[in-house]
Structure 1
Amino acid sequence: MAFHNKNATYVETVSLNIKDLNRSIDFYTKIIGLSVKEQNPTHAELTADGENVLLILNQVDKERTHRRASGLYHFALLLPTREDLALITMHLAANRIPLGSADHHVSEALYLDDPDGNGIEIYIDREPEHWIWNDGQVHMVTEPLNAEDLLKDRPDPSDFKGLPKDTIIGHIHLHVNDLQKNDEFYTEGLGFEVILNFGGQALFMATEKYHHHIAANIWNGLGAPAPEKGSIGLDYYTVIYPSNEALNKAVSRLTELGFTAQQEEGYVLTADPSGSHIRMQTHKSHN
């Protein structure tokens, strides 16, 4: 995964608040294909390789407070190969899971919701040498996925034995309340670069010239309210920095811009202008 390496700043883990832990574990293991690394009565950590935690589930009592709030649009699981995408497509179809799909030119993607309505994307990247760039902006579209071509080898859904070990969080896409303020936070503060400004409605931001590690849109409306703390939806996500120096510089930039950056044990806690919480840290090998 060339854009999620020791030189990049990227999203590694997503923590969600959900209503019923057993129901969500059932979904994320049997349907999505993650496995449980650790679990207690209200909390579970899920992994694809048995080691790196991709998804954290927290059982909470609060319902969603606003239908059109800021927060999670979707988190995205990046698979290693097109064959992997074809197989999970057949597996999801066999389990009668409602699916959306799209060809974004840079990637091919499936879309679905978990039992609490949290958005999930499962995708593969096309080879970066086939991406098109115009004046520093990557060419991304939303066109129909060629399912006939994807499934031409007719994979057997019973061959699905879980997500490949190399599966990672490829990106996170957020609802925000104001593009300009969030642009400042994510670019001048966290240190991402705008790779595509989509018609003033969405920003796609990355490091290392990826198509996006983080996206932000205003499709829930300008001034969309922040979700109530501890309600169903996004709890936080982690942003991994390549070094302590890079992390410290980002913390300094955020502070200068007037954003909070609170030192905790092993990470720095901040929040974007729309109320999404972020844990900033270095890769484990740098701690």
Structure 2
Amino acid sequence: MTNTHQKTNSLNEFASFGAIHLNNTNLEKATLFWTEIVGLYPRKVSGSTAEFGTETQTLVVVHQAAKKRFVKGYSGLYHFAIHAPHKKAFASMLNRLVVHNYPFSSVDHTMSKSIYLDDPDGINIEFTLETPKRFKRMHTDGGLKIEDSEGVIRSASDYLDVGEVLKDLDLENTSNFISNNTYIGHLHLYANLVESSKAFYEKIGFIPFNYLPQFMYADLSAGGAYQHRIALNSWHGKNRSLAPSEHAGLNYFQIVFNTKENLNKALANVSKYEEKEEGFYVNDATGNSILLTHASEV
């Protein structure tokens, strides 16, 4: 990883995310979405595959490999998150949606501020601004709630004032493209069983943050202040299979370990992997495909 956030996090996080690979039904519609709506640079097109990202790195790769839209009710991808490096960048991401009159929902999770939207095939994407200093702890009595750093108990999905967010917009720099320090910051997955998926990610090095079986939810960190890097839920129902391959959705995602040693530790703790030129492919407990690499390979 080459962006500023990943360089900073390399001091205390053992892994980060590479590109997210998606299967979509229409490359032209996907290209319009990722460039005009999201503001990613078109980096490379090869046949039925297109790469989008910042000037320096690819964040999303779209494969025109699906015949049907994303369908709910299956295990697999719940959403993935594109993280803004600072308030101005987050305001710019939101402003682009407002300018294009693109539908979205806004939520304050205390540990982060979030904007949710769907791509043309119904795949959910989150824009995130990390705010871990605002978070103190979770509360589970009477529902899932969060205590902030000032001791205020709030909803886990509280109201986000988009007007306040837009006050940070840099009116002198409303570029059509996203900040170069933008990064893939977390993934949230529908797990067929939360406990088995949690165990898998622990085996490859991720650190448990919240494990709330009564809410069919868990999340894990990579060792940094923001501890919501991999999230898991079974809100769609337990023991659900992955969606049929003809539907749009996750193809695979990439985890980049900061050292070769950490990659080797992860590989030693998985039951099976396939080595290819670009790295090592494994499946998590639900069946999601993951490419494991280490930083010097990216």
Same fold (TM over 0.5): yes
Instruction: Give the deviation of 1:90 after TM superposition.
Output: 2.2
- What residue in structure 2 maps to residue 104 of structure 1? 109
Secondary structure (helix, strand or coil) at the match of 2:201 reads helix
The answer to whether structure 1 residue 271 and structure 2 residue 271 are counterparts is no
Q: Does residue 222 of structure 1 match 2:234?
A: no
CA contact (8 A) 1:106 1:125 kept: yes
Q: Which amino acid aligns with 1:81?
A: H
* One-letter amino acid of the structure 2 residue matched with residue 107 of structure 1: S
- Give the superposition deviation at 1:132: 1.5
Query: Is the CA contact (8 Å cut-off) linking 1:90 and 1:157 kept in structure 2?
Result: no
SS of residue matched to 2:232: strand
What secondary structure does 1:68 align onto? coil
Q: How far apart, CA to CA, are the structure 2 residues paired with 1:143 and 1:101?
A: 9
Q: Which residue number corresponds to residue 151 of structure 1?
A: 166
Aligned to 2:143: none
Supply the distance in 2 between the matched residues of 1:268 and 1:72 (Cα, whole angstroms): 20
* Map of 1:197 onto structure 2: 211
Provide structure 1 residue ranges, at least 5 long, that are not aligned to the other structure: none
TM-score w.r.t. the length of structure 1 is: 0.88
- 1:261 Cα deviation from its structure 2 partner: 1.4
Whether 2:284 is the aligned partner of 1:250: answer no
The verdict on how the C-alpha distance between 1:233 and 1:40 changes in structure 2, with shifts beyond 3 A counting, is: same
Q: CA deviation at 1:212?
A: 1.4
Q: Following the alignment from structure 1 to structure 2, what is the Cα–Cα distance between the partners of residues 177 and 124?
A: 28
Q: CA deviation at 1:134?
A: 6.8
Aligned match for 1:88, one of 93, 98, 113: 93
The residue identity in structure 1 corresponding to 2:252 is: Y
Distance in 1 separating the partners of 2:46 and 2:297: 28
Number of residues of Structure 1 aligned to a counterpart in Structure 2: 277
Q: Separation in 2 of the partners of 1:178 and 1:4?
A: 30
Structure 2 spans left out of the alignment, 5+ residues: 140-145, 149-155
Residues 99 and 250 of structure 1: CA distance in aligned 2, closer, same or farther (over 3 Å): same
8 Å contact 2:71–2:247 — kept in the other structure?
Answer: no
Change (3 A) 1:99 1:157: farther
1:10-35 deviations in Å (ceiling 9; x for gaps): 22210000000011011100110001
| Distance in structure 1 (CA, Å) of the matches to 2:193 and 2:138 | 25
Choose from 227, 230, 236 the match for 1:211. Answer: 227
CA contact (8 A) 2:200 2:285 kept: yes
Q: Report the aligned-residue RMSD.
A: 2.4
SS of the residue aligned with 1:115?
coil
- Separation in structure 2 between the aligned mates of residue 231 and residue 205 of structure 1, nearest angstrom: 28
Is structure 2 residue 21 aligned with structure 1 residue 9?
no
Counterpart Cα distance in 1 of 2:135 and 2:266:
29
Quick one: percent identity of the two aligned structures?
Answer: 27
Counterpart selection for 2:189 from 174, 179, 192: 174
Q: Residue 180 of structure 2 aligns with which residue?
A: 165
Q: Is the 8 A contact 1:47 1:54 kept in 2?
A: yes
Aligned to 2:56: 51
